[in-house]
Amino acid sequence: MMTNMKRRTFVIGAASFSGVTLFSPTLAQPATKPSTNSVLLVVDVQNCFLPGGTLAVPDGNEIIPVINALGKKFENVIFTQDWHTENHASFASSHPGKNPFETIELSYGTQVLWPDHCIQGSDDARLAEGLNIPHAQLIIRKGYHSEIDSYSTFVAADGETKTGLTGYLKERGLNEVYVCGLATDFCVSWSAIDARRAGLGVSVIEDACRAIDLNGSLKAAWQAMKQEGVQRISSSEIT
Toward Zn ion, which CB reaches closer, 10 or 144?
Answer: 144
Toward ligand VGL, which CB reaches closer, 213 or 228?
Answer: 213
Among 57, 63, 74, 82, binds Zn ion (CB under 5 A): 82
Q: How far is the CB of 150 from ligand VGL (least distance, A)?
A: 8
211 part of the interface to ligand VGL, by CB under 6 A: no
- Count residues near ligand VGL (CB under 6 A): 9
Catalytic residue among 118, 187, 194, 209: 187
Toward Zn ion, which CB reaches closer, 38 or 88?
Answer: 88
Assign 3-class secondary structure to the chain.
CHHHHHHHHHHHHHHHHHCCCCCCHHHCCCCECCCCCEEEEEECCEHHHCCCCCCCCCCHHHHHHHHHHHHCCCCCEEEEEECECCCCCCEHHHCCCCCCCCEEEECCEEEECECCCCECCCHHHCECCCCCCCCCCEEEEECCCCCCCCCCCCECCCCCCECCHHHHHHHHCCCEEEEEEECHHHHHHHHHHHHHHCCCEEEEEEEEEECCCCCCHHHHHHHHHHHCCCEEECHHHEC
Residue 187 annotated to the active site: yes
Residue 213 annotated to the active site: no
Toward Zn ion, which CB reaches closer, 82 or 176?
Answer: 82
Please list every residue from 137 through 196 that binds ligand VGL, using CB under 6 A.
151, 182-183, 186-187
187 binds, among ligand VGL, Zn ion, none (CB under 5 to 8 A by kind): ligand VGL
Q: Which residues are catalytic?
A: 44, 142, 187
Contact positions vs ligand VGL (CB under 6 A) = 44, 49, 82, 114, 151, 182-183, 186-187
